[in-house]
Structure 1
Amino acid sequence: MFWHVPGFSAASPVDTILDKENFKLEDLLDEDEIIQECKALNTRLINFLRDKVQVEQLLRYIVEEAPEDAEKKRIFRFPFIACEIFTCDVDVIMKTLVEDEDLMNLLFSFLKPDHPHGTLLAGYFAKVVICLAMRKTLQLVHYVQGHPEIVSQLVDLIGITSIMEVLIRLIGADETMYSSHADSMQWLDDIQVLEMIVDKFSTSDSAEVHANAAEILCAVTRYAPPALAAKISSPSFVGRLFQHAFEDSRPKSVLVHSLSVCISLLDPKRLVSASYQAFRSQLSHGTLVTASPETVNGMLDSLGDLLKLLDVSSAENVLPTTYGSLQPPLGKHRLKIVEFISVLLSIGSEVAETRLIQLGAIQHAIDLFFEYPFNNFLHHHVENIIGSCLESKQDHLIGHVLDECKLVTRILEAEKNSALSSDLTKHTLSTEGRCPPRIGIVGHMTRIANKLLQLANTNIMVQSYLQQNSDWIEWHTSTLTKRNALENVYQWACGRPTSLQDRGRDSDDEDFRDRDYDVAALASNLSQAFKYGIYSNDDIDEAQASLERDDEDVYFDDESAEWLALYKFQLVCI
């Protein structure tokens, strides 16, 4: 497919169709070059497509399901091409749509309850509406304000991810929508859109609905109009969330996603899904919701009921695993509660810290850490809990972890009995008749122990506690020191450039920088191997010839060295 350049190529197939006397819209939609001609602003084509009759037909392809006996191009191609025409950023076509009430009614008829809502057409509908939101913002706002039932219809279809994305745009949880129209957002608060969304936790049993509702609310916590930001962070709204979560017979997904919203209120920078990242980079200004002391207190009121759900003693379900069995499995809801505790500790609220100590939340989380030795998600959150306590410089938190939770004692006991237990009273059991595997928390315990050693240099309380524990001193001398030396990758024989440690990092570079091997050295070693004929495959003679020059004359940066190493590995494997 090539761009049409007048004077240098044959006439466009689209122009050939337009030259005919009796052609139809379908003839154009069936032509491969129609999208590129739209983007090239083909005047004859645009003048034809901007007509109301043609725009109406394009909309019908998007919002109306094809008959059962329709051809495949009617089912798949025509809706796709129609959507692409609307999103080609041709102003006159969009203007025809937004300035005609009947056409807008046809577009949003897709949301009616008696209308089929297939995910394919829902995606095309969402793309067109989002394009309108970006290009014709004010006109779209005025139309939706005049038809408030649209918002409730969107909320009813919140289980469809593309519809959820439309709702995120409409309620202003994204800068591209209302950066210049903040005054027009008050009507959303008047129709109580947030209440409609949060009530989906109570009226629907679908996990997809709960997940999408939570994602919208989390988006509001990160970027929202002031009125919505104030409402979502209010204690009454938090109480409404927990009220739905604790209702009898509600699915566990309600609790999980309600806690996701609370976590986002406490830490708005957290991301809960990939779809939000799609426009994350566009957010540069707006209202970032922060949890006030009143909001935190509203969450603490329900903390006692949450901790009751962490109790696994009464659960009877058993989950077989490759290493044994879990009786019961931890479950997503308990994992989310532990994450919630971790975030609560990270915000530096003395009220939250005191409440967590009083209710035994930290101790309960540490108990689960040792009871489920193969749940790495749990271990990550509990390690963060312990790190927040130890780094808080609050004696009551540090003392609680060391004395009441007996952290050091539990680590030493787990080190002595590092094989998975077969005790039937435990929640994680090894398979009978097989050698029990080693518990999977040793790495986390090592990091926690090293954190204690680091803090002992600056914290007298930690230093005194460790010095008085003879078992700790013995384990540190005989085990931890040797383990740290063994796991120090910078001391390995293969080596690792210290420049990697000092070089600036960013989120796009982390995987490349976190390699535990020296790529430049690896490439150099392979060069030597090729030079001295270790690999004698006839197919790599050409590669050997290119390596006959002195290796000292070649400079390897990390990227080029990595490429060369991988290239040589491929040659070896031929």
Structure 2
Amino acid sequence: MFWKHNTSTQIEALLAKEDVTIQEIMDSEDIINECRLQNKMLIEFLQKTEIMEELISLITKEPSVEIEERSRFKYPNIACELLTCDVPALNEKLASDKVLLDKLYTFLESDLPVNPLLASYFSKVMGALIAKKTEQNWLSYQFTCLQVLDFLKAKDTFISLLLKHLGTSAIMDLMLKLMTQVEGIEMNQNILNWLDSQNIIQSLISLLNPKVDKERHYNVAQLLCDFIRIARDNQKNAVERVDPDPLLNTLESSETISLLLDYILSGEEKSESAIVGGIQVIISLLDFNQSNASKFSSTQNLYGTNINEEICDNEQKQRSISNTTRVMKDRIKQFHDLLVDPPKQIPVSTTVGILDPPLGNIRLQVTKLFSALISTNNQELLKEIEMNETLSLLLDLFFKYQWNNFLHTQVENCLMGALKIHSSDDNDETSNALSKHLLSKCRVIERIINAWKENDEQQSQLHGIRKGYMGHLISIMNKIVTLCNNSLGHYLKDNLPEVAKSLDEFKETTLEETNKIQETLLGGAHPNSSVDNNDDYGDIPFPQSSALQQQMFFQYQIQNSTSQFIEGYSGFSDDAFNLGNDTLQSIEPRVEMNFDLSEGDMVQQQEIFKQVCAQSINTLDDADDQIFDDREHTFQTVIEKNDRNEAAYSSDSDEELPTGNDDNNMEIDPWTSPKIAVEETTSDSTSFGGSDPWKAAGQSEDTVGGWADFSSVRFDVNTPETNEEEKKIEVEENKVESVDCNVKSAAGDRAANLIEDIEKMVEQSVIVEPSKSVAGDSSDSQLEDDKEKKV
């Protein structure tokens, strides 16, 4: 928003100046974008008549040659973009002002040759007024298009000037837009009828005269071919019922096709560009783009479109093909002569030698034309081809120009088209005439087998080179063998038994061996096939489609991210997420943990754990008494005993802990044990010596189940403490009530080392508070007694 506001402010500041010029406005970097955004001040400025005239002058008059070349067409380009920004105000201003249109029209009146860049600017501006854009308002388009078309109709020289400049591609594009892109049924039909009344099709055909320049030959042929395709598609895809295209009907008529053939074939002088262009137009008339037609038909059936429209399309197709073949049957001899005696060609030097004469584009296009004519299956036309022995001539060219694969492809199409006619229509002798001619007189099978043998002999020699047509020969022979499964095979056995026998032998020996070689996969196996399991690359998939490749890559990403997630989080313990300050120490997350432990390993780890716990208790006994003066430093541990009837061990005892095989020792979670509830009492005396402080009064050890139950423990202190100690006790009681068996210890370096040993030797540590943890609650005399006992 800032940049938009900033740019608009700059342009508005320029427009506010007196005597501002259009060049100063066009020097602004964002002038085109502001015009598309329809800046009000800018549009008002550009709408001025004098400004519009300057813009049109920039795109119709060539800049001075004194201007630097890289900036010479800067302003004409910007002017063209401003006039084609699809701003309704500018379009309506240009279309409604006859003076401006006259100034624009003067470009067509320029002498030849015109600047191709300025021609593109002119064509773009005129096309923007004629053709509707997707986002353009319909009423605005009708207003501008109607006025422009009326202006052009009033110009008597418009068609002739377009034909004059048709050698420029931009003018050709403008004429194609005028013939195909005017929207609106009524408006489109009016312009087509007007163009047909001006004999636009006949005028375009006349440009294929050999005396006309080559540039217009190529552009006229391209224009007519594009028009045939677009006009047929427009009629098929029309939502509403439309009248037949008068220009297309004129072009498909027999009279126009005869006129076309007269221009390209008559006369002593023959022009390659004219002949090639005319042949391309005829091929377009015969080609109804079957793939798009079938696709369109399936779409129509899906949405329930009237089948009568398809019938009309088929009628038009049959009418167009019939008109073309009817005219072409009388011209077969002329096209055959072009294969025998084409226009003179200069020799061409290639990597395999000098071609003198070369095949040439004319003979290649004539071969392509014969392929299209044979596919029509017109009996009269096929008879003319047979009479002129055109297929035999095509076979000669096939073997003569062994390196021209474009020719080989078209000849193969001609041969297969003729043989398929025989295979598909067994009872029609007229239809089979061309295929019989190909098999008997042209001796196509024998010639192919002989050429195959010649190639084998040539390859067997020193530095022998394989002939360039061998790939097409393999394809042709495989197709012939396939067709022999039908009526073609019966014809060979009945009429040409020796040919049928040689074909069978060739198929079973040479062709079968060749096909095996051709089917052998490079590298010995297809990438998708299974390979040896010992191969390091055997499990790598090679999907054939881009969709499978994307799917495999997506699965790989998912697997990779999942494994990383598990590795990063599977080893974290609950303590790693505890934010409190009252834990013993933080445990580093273990990325890899092996839980596959045998029963013997578990028993051994239990024994080690119990021994370490016993050592830790002895260590605490030997520690300095000052440890117990500070309530913040305690080491808590509880071990379940095997014999539940045995008295609980005392913190003052030096006896070794019992080592049992109780399997429950490692399965109890210390964090789920009951909380310790400490209550102050006023009892006179309670002695801890020789009794179990973990057991509530009047409760048996069987009830406790071998574990300390702190829910009802009462600690009586028989020596009065100071207020300070009472406060300490009160604080400690609150901590004990709020934390579930938290471990706190600072027993020195030895205690820390023991903790590390515990973490390394066992996977889970069960740490609770020993009976010594209440030593701070006893009196000084009691501590002295404990010392004497240790001594």
Match of 2:90 among 85, 93, 101: 93
The correspondence for 1:370, drawn from 374, 399, 416, is 399
Equivalent of 2:197 in 190, 196, 199:
190
Matches for 1:71-82 after TM superposition, within 5 Å: 71-72=68-69, 75-82=72-79
Q: Deviations over 1:343-398 (max 9, x none)?
A: 11112222221221122222222221111111111111111111211222242232
Cα 1:353–1:104 change in 2 (3 A) is same
Change (3 A) 1:12 1:388: farther
Match of 1:475 in 2: 506
Q: Which amino acid aligns with 1:210?
A: H
User: Which deviates more, 359-368 or 403-412?
Assistant: 359-368
Q: Does 1:107 align with 2:107?
A: no
Task: Check if 1:142 corresponds to 2:142.
Answer: no
What is the number of residues matched between the two proteins?
Answer: 493
When structure 1 is superposed on structure 2, of 475-484 and 222-231 the one drifting more is 222-231
- Give me the whole-angstrom Cα distance separating, in 2, the residues matched to 1:204 and 1:233: 24
Cα separation, 2, equivalents of 1:265 and 1:11 = 54
2:126 & 2:342 partners in 1: Cα distance?
Answer: 51
Task: Name the residue aligned to 1:217.
Answer: 224
Which residue of the partner structure matches residue 505 of structure 1? none
Pick closer, same or farther for the CA change 1:205–1:42 going to 2, 3 Å.
same
Asked whether the 8 Å contact 1:264–1:270 carries over to 2, the reply is no
The amino acid that maps onto 1:259 is: I
Q: Is the 8 A contact 1:154 1:167 kept in 2?
A: yes
Alignment of 1:329-340 (within 5 A): 329-340=358-369
Gap change, CA 1:115 and 1:101, over 3 Å in 2: farther
Partner of 1:396: 433
The share of aligned pairs that are identical, in percent, is 26
TM-score normalised to structure 2 length: 0.57
Given the alignment of the two structures, is residue 232 of structure 1 paired with residue 251 of structure 2, yes or no?
yes
Q: Does 1:296 align with 2:315?
A: no
Aligned to 1:412: 449
Which string of whole-angstrom CA distances, capped at 9 and with x for unpartnered residues, describes residues 536-563 of structure 1?
A: xxxxxxxxxxxxxx978x9967437869
User: Which residue pairs with 1:251 in the alignment?
Assistant: 271
CA separation of 1:116 and 1:249: change in aligned 2, threshold 3 A: closer
Shift of 1:19: 3.4
Report if the CA contact (8 A) 1:231-1:237 is conserved: yes
Give ranges in structure 2 of 5+ residues lacking alignment.
133-143, 232-243, 292-308, 425-430, 554-791
Match of 1:18 in 2: 15
Q: Aligned pair in 2 of structure 1 residues 188, 270: CA closer, same or farther (>3 Å)?
A: farther
- Map of 1:494 onto structure 2: 525
Q: Distance in 2 between matches of 1:34 and 1:313?
A: 57
Which residue identity does 2:439 align to in structure 1? Answer: L
Are residue 444 (structure 1) and residue 431 (structure 2) matched?
Answer: no
Q: Residues 297 and 409 (structure 1 numbering): CA distance in 2 closer, same or farther, change over 3 Å?
A: same
Q: Is the 8 A contact 2:11 2:25 kept in 1?
A: yes
Moved more, 154-163 or 433-442: 433-442
1:83 aligned to which of 68, 76, 80: 80
> What is the aligned partner in structure 1 of residue 587 from structure 2?
none
Q: What is the alpha-carbon distance in structure 2 between the residues aligned to residue 494 and residue 229 of structure 1?
A: 54
Contact 1:419 1:439 in 2 (8 A): no
Distance in 2 (alpha carbons) for counterparts of 1:435 and 1:253: 41
Secondary structure of the 1:418 match is: helix
Question: How far did residue 309 of structure 1 move?
Answer: 1.4
- Relative to structure 2, which stretch is displaced further, 468-477 or 173-182? 173-182
Structure 1 residues 395 and 434 mapped into 2: Cα distance closer, same or farther (>3 Å)?
same
Moved more, 247-256 or 381-390: 247-256
Tell whether the 8 Å contact from 2:394 to 2:411 is kept in structure 1 after alignment: yes
Alignment equivalent of 2:414, drawn from 366, 382, 385: 385
Q: Is the CA contact 2:325–2:381 (under 8 Å) kept in the aligned structure 1?
A: yes
Greater CA drift, 325-334 or 89-98: 325-334
Please name the residue that 1:159 is paired with. 167
Q: Which has the larger radius of gyration?
A: 2
- Aligned partner of 2:285 in structure 1 is 265
Show the counterpart of 1:559: 546
Equivalent-residue separation in structure 1 for 2:506 and 2:98 (angstroms): 77
Contact 2:77-2:121 at 8 Å conserved across structures: yes
Q: What is the CA-CA distance between 1:453 and the residue it aligns to? A: 1.4
Q: Secondary structure at the match of 2:354?
A: strand
User: Secondary structure of 1:325's partner?
Assistant: strand
1:125 counterpart residue number:
122
2:47 matched to 1:50?
yes
- Rate the CA distance shift 1:4–1:23 in 2: closer, same or farther, 3 A: same
Deviation at 1:258, TM superposition (A): 0.9
Select between 135-144 and 120-129 the one with higher mean Cα deviation.
135-144
**Aligned alpha-carbon RMSD (Å):** 3.6
Shift of 1:33: 0.7
**Distance (whole Å) between structure 1 residues aligned to residue 101 and residue 8 of structure 2:** 35
TM-score scaled to structure 1, two decimals? 0.77
Match of 2:207 among 182, 200, 203: 200
Stretch of structure 1 that moved more, 67-76 or 191-200 = 67-76
Shift of 1:133: 1.1
Q: Which runs of 5+ in 1 are unaligned?
A: 272-283, 422-432, 498-517, 530-549, 566-574
Deviations 1:423-447 (A, max 9, x none): xxxxxxxxxx995632211111111
Distance 1:420 1:112 in 2: 67
Distance in structure 1 (CA, Å) of the matches to 2:194 and 2:527: 59
Aligned partners of 1:258, 1:181: CA distance in 2, in Å?
A: 27
Q: CA deviation at 1:128?
A: 1.1
Partners of 1:83 and 1:124 within 8 A in 2: yes
Aligned to 1:328: 357
